[in-house]
Every structure is written in C-alpha cells, then in structure tokens.
Amino acid sequence: MLSKNHLSVSDTVLKPARDLRLDTLRGIFLVIMATNHLGGTLSEITNEPLGYITAATAFIMLSGYMYALTAISKAPTFKSLVAQACTRAAKIYRYHIGLFILLLLPTLFSSVYKGYLGYLYTSDGSIFTSIAYAALLLHQPPFMHILPLYIVMSLVSPLILMALHRGYDWLVITASLTIWVIGQFYDPLKWLIAITDSSAAAAQFNLFGWQVLWVTGIYIGFLHHVRKRTIFFAHPAYLYFAIAGATAFFLTKHHFIVPPVSVEFYFENSDFRLLRFINTISQVVIFCYVIKKVPTNLGLPWFRFLGRYSLQVFSYHVLIVCLLAPISWRIGPRYGLTADLVYTLLVVASMTVPGLIYFAYESYQRENNAYPPWRRRAVAIKALGTRFFMTASKSR
C-alpha cells in the first residue's frame, strides 16, 4: 500500500505549476454566466458587453484548451487517452445526472416549483422518463446543455489528440469546420428527439455548431503544451484586422451600426452562425496578444478559486439560479435597483461555498489517504513513469 508520503510526492511531481491566469478567467466567466442567468439590472451590463460573444463561448473554448493542457503529452497511446477521457466524462456525467435529479425533486413537493421547473424539466409528464432521457443526454432543458456538450467532446477528444500527435492538423481543422457547416442546417439532437418521438427538450446549443469552440481550444492547447508554441498570430496584420473586426461587431451589437435585417440571421447564437464565429475569432486573436503580457503566476484570488473548482461551481450556479427563479424576477420591480444589485452580489458570492466544500473534501482525502485502490495504483504508475522520463531527460 502507498504511504502518505508516496502519494504526496507523486502528486507534486505530476502536477506542474498552475497557470493562475486560466483559473482566474474561468472564475470570471462563471460569475458572468451566473449574473446573466439570474437576470436583473446587472445582467444588462454583463450580457455580451464586447460584442456577439458570450461568457459560455469563452468558457467552452478555454475548457478545450485546458483539456489539451492536462492531457497525456509524452508518447500517448490511444488507449491511455481514452481511459483519461472516460474518467473525465464519467465525473461530468455524475454531476449532470445528480444536478438534474436535484432540480426535479422540488417539483414533487411544491406547486410553485412544479409551475416554474416542472414544465421545463419533465419530459412526457413523467419524472422517471425525464431522468431516463437526461441519462441518455437527449433531454437538455435550460441550463442543462453545457455539461452534456462537455461529456460528448471529452469522449471525442482522444481522436482529436491522436490525430494532432501524428501531425494531421489539417484533418482536425477540416473535419471541425465541415461539421460546423453541417450544423448551420442540421441539429443532431433535434433529429434524435424526433426519431424517438419524445417530448425531450433539445439543447440550446447545437452540438455540431458549438464543437468548433472546443476543437479550437484543444488545438491551441496542444500547440502550446506539446509543440511548445507560445506565440500565436505573430504577424501584426492579424491584430489590426482583429481590432477592426471586433470594433465593428461591438458597434453593431450596441446599435451604433444598424445592419440589414437579412444579416441579423448570421449573428444567431444557438447554431453559432458565421458572423458570431468571426466575432469570436477576432476576440481570440486580441486575447492571445494580451494574455502573453500577463505573468502566469498572476491572478485574482477569488476568481482563481472559483475557476479551480469550475465543475462544482458551475453545477451549483445552475442549481441556485433555478431554485431562486420564483423570487429573482421580483426583487428589482418590488424593492428597487439597490436591492436588486445586493441580491445578485449575494447570490454570486455564495458560489464560493461549493468550492470550499470540495476543497475540504480534497484535503480530507490527502490527509487520510482516502483514495480508492484504483486511484492509488494509478498514482503509483504515473509516479514511476514521471520519474523515468525525468531520469531519461537528465541522462541526455
């Protein structure tokens, strides 16, 4: 059996220094999403302030980036990448199902929640049918579409990473763009719901359209982590075009420029249409120029903490936003602007709680060696592999 010392040493060896900028960004995106989902006065400021790009867009792309950053990078086998992907997907899946059940429970005991949540979260009028469809990832009512997207993209990511490791960048890019184009005309989840003849709710985000964000993130993360490429869009022309594009989209979003009615279709969010895609790429180019000027050890402590426990915090924010739905919309009209702002800030501040709980859980595991046997064996194997690579690199 592994001792506590073995476990702590191996963990230290395996985990590189965290990039605090990324945790901070994830925390900021989580706060913006929670504020937008609560509604209220503050959401009028946080909802797409920079143009046709949402916090969810940035959050998904950053998640793809971090997936590549934490994936096996030294001569991975397809089997090892699949094992890692299944572990991650299984964890997200547990949160998805657990969150869905927690949102259904109040509808059994409260007529208020039956009115607010029942018609959204129950499919075919049955709790058990709803859970079954949610378990199959068919039923994705409001706020329940991002975790299924993560599950699917996590399971597809081993194929993407193996193709990149073998130098087939063109194949990954072409396949992702082709699927995105198909997604402009076709939603796979709606098709599945149609052939099952169910009343399941289709996701707000079309998987075929939105996968391009994850793939973009995972590709940039791969270039950074594996090929050690840290400079992107190096030519100044990229930056000039990006600033011009981002400025035009900003002015259009805030009605300083009024586009033809026929063009508005291409800003649509659920299928991630062309102009929204271009707006996102322009923001990515600008972001790549700005972020390289910020030290990796620089971050905002509270946002950084939320970002470190993003899965737990994201799930909590969905739960709390839905449970508070019967009163959230009443605060501003009934008690005024100040009460509305204070209410929003208190709810957002409560997002610290799930992070603290999970931090305490992790601390307990470390202090009491409370890892399951499979985890202890995995840690031991990884530690041996890491020591082998470190020894080999020193001998060179």
Nearest to 357 by CA among 315, 309, 300: 309
What does the pLDDT look like over 62-106, one tens digit per residue? 999 999 999 988 889 999 999 999 999 999 999 999 999 999 999
Give the Cα separation of 29 and 23 in Å (integer).
Answer: 10
Give the Cα separation of 32 and 47 in Å (integer).
Answer: 8
Give the Cα separation of 18 and 295 in Å (integer).
Answer: 12
Sketch the domain layout of the chain as residue ranges.
4-230+292-389
Task: Give the pLDDT score at 234.
Answer: 80
What does the pLDDT look like over 37-70, one tens digit per residue? 999 999 999 999 999 999 999 999 999 999 999 9
Residue 352 structure tokens: 């610290």
Task: Give the pLDDT score at 203.
Answer: 84
pTM: 0.88
Task: Give the pLDDT score at 371.
Answer: 57
Task: Give the pLDDT score at 201.
Answer: 85
**Residue whose entry in the numeric block shows the structure tokens 């003849």:** 197
For residue 123, give the 3-state DSSP assignment. strand
Instruction: Give, in order, the Cα–Cα distances in Å from 116 to each of 36, 135, 164.
Output: 18, 22, 46
Task: Give the pLDDT score at 8.
Answer: 36
Q: What is the rounded average pLDDT for all residues in the chain?
A: 88
Residues paired with residue 123 on neighbouring β-strands, in sequence order? 126
Task: Give the pLDDT score at 202.
Answer: 85
Task: Give the pLDDT score at 352.
Answer: 98
Task: Give the pLDDT score at 389.
Answer: 43
The segments of the chain whose pLDDT lies below 70 read: 1-17, 124-125, 370-396
> What are the DSSP calls for 270-313, one per residue?
TTT-HHHHHHHHHHHHHHHHHHTTS-TT---HHHHHHHHTHHHH
Residue 319 structure tokens: 């739960």
Amino acid at 113: Y
211 phi and psi, to 5 degrees?
-60, -25
Give the Cα separation of 379 and 386 in Å (integer).
Answer: 10
Task: Give the pLDDT score at 373.
Answer: 53
Give the Cα separation of 334 and 231 in Å (integer).
Answer: 52
Task: Give the pLDDT score at 19.
Answer: 87
